Amino acid sequence: MKILVIGGNGTIGSCVADRLKQKHEVITAGRTSGDFNVDIENKKSIKDLFNQTGKVDAIVSCAGATKWAAFESMTEEDFYIGIKSKMMGQINLVRLGQEYLNAGGSFTLTTGILAEDPVYMTTNAAMVNGAIHGFVLAVSQELKNGHRINAVAPGLVEDSKEKFGDYFPGHNPVPMHKVANGYVRSVEGKRTGEIIRIYG
Amino acid sequence: MKILVIGGNGTIGSCVADRLKQKHEVITAGRTSGDFNVDIENKKSIKDLFNQTGKVDAIVSCAGATKWAAFESMTEEDFYIGIKSKMMGQINLVRLGQEYLNAGGSFTLTTGILAEDPVYMTTNAAMVNGAIHGFVLAVSQELKNGHRINAVAPGLVEDSKEKFGDYFPGHNPVPMHKVANGYVRSVEGKRTGEIIRIYG
Residue A133 C-alpha, separation from nearest chain B C-alpha, in angstroms: 7
Calculate mean pLDDT across residues B42-54: 98
> What is the distance between the alpha carbons of residues A167 and A95, in angstroms, rounded to a whole number?
34
Most A CBs within 10 Å: which of B79, B127, B139, as the mutation test of the A interface? B127
Does any CB of chain B come closer than 8 Å to the CB of residue A122? yes
> ∠ at Cα B154 (A141, B165), nearest 5°?
60
ipTM: 0.98
Strand order, beta sheet including B148-154: B36-37, B25-30, B2-6, B56-61, B101-110, B148-154, B194-198
Does any CB of chain B come closer than 8 Å to the CB of residue A47? no
Residue A68 DSSP code = -
**Average per-residue pLDDT in chain A?**
97
Residue B47 C-alpha, separation from nearest chain A C-alpha, in angstroms: 14
> What is the distance between the alpha carbons of residues A23 and A138, in angstroms, rounded to a whole number?
30
Q: Determine the distance from the C-alpha atom of residue B29 to the mean position of all C-alpha atoms in its chain, rounded to a whole number.
A: 13
> What is the distance between the alpha carbons of residues B175 and B198, in angstroms, rounded to a whole number?
9
Tell me the per-residue pLDDT of B187-200, one tens digit each, with 9 for 90 and over.
999 999 999 999 98
**Average per-residue pLDDT in chain B?**
97
Q: Where are the alpha helices (DSSP H) in chain B?
A: 11-21, 43-53, 76-82, 88-97, 123-139, 161-164, 176-188
B195 closest CA partner among B91, B85, B116: B116
Calculate mean pLDDT across residues B7-23: 96
Position B8 scores a pLDDT of: 86
**Nearest residue on chain A to B99, alpha-carbon basis:** A72
**Nearest residue on chain A to B73, alpha-carbon basis:** A95
A5 closest CA partner among A31, A28, A23: A28
Most B CBs within 10 Å: which of A123, A124, A168, as the mutation test of the B interface? A123
Which among A119, A135, A142 has the least Cβ separation from residue B127? A135
Position B96 scores a pLDDT of: 98
Calculate mean pLDDT across residues A161-179: 96
CB spacing of A92 vs B71 below 8 angstroms: no
Calculate mean pLDDT across residues A156-165: 94
Which among A43, A79, A118 has the least Cβ separation from residue B88? A79
CB spacing of A92 vs B76 below 8 angstroms: yes
| CATH class held by domain A2-198 | alpha beta
> What is the distance between the alpha carbons of residues A15 and A127, in angstroms, rounded to a whole number?
25
Does any CB of chain B come closer than 8 Å to the CB of residue A83? yes
CB-based contact B107:B50 (threshold 8 Å): no
Give the other-Cβ count within 10 Å of B70's Cβ: 10
CA atoms within 13 A on the CB side of A117: 16
Q: For residues A23-33, b (16+ Cβ closer than 10 Å) or e, as one string?
A: ebebbbbbbee
CB-based contact A63:A30 (threshold 8 Å): yes
User: How far, in Å, are A12, A115, A129, A183, B8 from residue A176 at the CA level?
Assistant: 8, 20, 20, 11, 49
- For residue A154, name the pLDDT band (cuts at 50, 70, 90): very high
User: How far, in Å, are A15, A24, A82, A116 from residue A31 at the CA level?
Assistant: 17, 23, 16, 28
> What is the distance between the alpha carbons of residues B47 and B83, in angstroms, rounded to a whole number?
19
Position B200 scores a pLDDT of: 83
A196 closest CA partner among A143, A127, A148, A133: A133
Continuous segment of H or E residues that includes residue A106: strand A101-110
Beta-bridge partners for A61:
A6
Burial (Cβ within 10 Å: 0-12, 13-18, ≥19) of residue A157: buried
- For residue A200, name the pLDDT band (cuts at 50, 70, 90): confident
Position A8 scores a pLDDT of: 86
Residue B85 DSSP code = I
Does any CB of chain B come closer than 8 Å to the CB of residue A95? yes
